Structure 1
């Protein structure tokens, strides 16, 4: 019972970020650094101080699934409310300096990208209509709704190949990867949808095209957020446009940086005339306890590729997969310094691949 309870409570750690952002918004000054400090310093430190956890809960050992689904719904509501409140507050009291505006925008992007897109990723994979719709809404708030097409129908099929928009070859820096991955992911999603419509003999420039609907949804979502500030206060400060666009850029850049971590240097090989199937050794795993709770088990990525319909509390840590030396937050910091990334990760990658030969 205690293990089940602590397992459930652990997932609530993500909700600390909105509270920290409210403090940043209220007190400004050096408080605007609270969110990145917690996400990129405190979480990695706690990962370092705790032992990796490769245990998993079976459905019969956990609380009913609805408890874990409620957390995702609660996050969707809280993130939406936080973004609306931030826009209203910043409309009335815009940043007093460039650094203040940058940190507040960065902080919101960490929330909407680091956690929000993680939640959206979990939801768009599922068959339930409410889950897909909630996931799509979260993605529309960061202008990245095409992810639901590219990720499921592109990445999961092509992972570990040159055709995949978001598999990083060995020796590629995260910055070079981002320049390619962000536009390529959109183009790949468009191509997937175009070919699907052609097979169904439906027009590309019609309502049947999900990409067109998604783009319209992004405009409506951004319009809804900005118009709320206008209706409350009768005007819209120019900074709000910068804030909305900036947090979206931070959010989807974080997403693609995470995809860089997840498959760096791991490729699928030809076996005879066929490409080998996706397996656990095509994704990096991390059993670091704190960041796994913080990110809803996203770091158990090999098992996700093995069964992407499995809900997050039941994902297993695959010890036969290549292992990241830390959780995603610390690895993001490392990836931001390519020389250090290559120095740390390339030997680990080479040793793992050598052991598989």
Structure 2
């Protein structure tokens, strides 16, 4: 039997080649990028100021730190910037070099890759489907056993779209502090949450020095190619070590300039939140009315769905969608996610309607 292909969230070229279609014709629901695209205000200002590339960026990124601080309500002295959140994740894991790390799964595969590069042992704490992938805090705290040097949390989590609220996150950080464990919190999707202030750990940086929040602009600001990320931590020692090991001018002039523009674009930020919050509510109401699907409450700009219809797989739904030029995520490649699951992000209303209709037809055809 021919093995089915596996595709990831941004495999447009691979999918286009396999299904003999033009990638330009594919509507991508799997990359989790803001459907509004790059802000027109940022685009015009950036185009008018491309001469920033003729100058080195400020080595200390002072103005950018202040802008990030104002945007996140954080101390600029707690901030480090980098070449995308990926660089900061890599630097942090490399510097800490934990012999054992506990990762909340299922989740983004890059964490495991970085840990493998430094030879660290990886232990997963599995979110439970029976609890709708909502973290059981007391049970999780029991898993903080001796030898763990690093805990990695994605909040909201990818692919489950579940979230840990700030009070519970403080319980985790506090418990880890007592055990000498550092916590890395990836908040890539936090700005999409119904109430970002309820889940972000950034306000805790003034009280704890054993964690770092990492964010970027790839998803919320629709700028994955810019490679601008930032981290926030109350640990002065860690900040010093990161800057010592980081290449000078890691973030280029365009990234630093555009990053400031993005974080100050309040109209775009509000428009994005309004769109995602409205469509998240509307789409989930429609999905909940469809027999054969189980919807898990989403906090990010995407939703995880379990297929309950016998004989219908996640790959079946993936193919039904791709044959209509709609690309969703078949979640079978997430190693700790058992069962038949798909994930897709919320786009513009007409695109969301098109996908819902596609899923309804695919489910009906199996009756």
TM-score higher than 0.5:
no
Structure in which a larger fraction of residues adopt helix: 1
TM-score by length of 2: 0.29
Structure in which a larger fraction of residues adopt strand: 2
TM-score by length of 1: 0.30
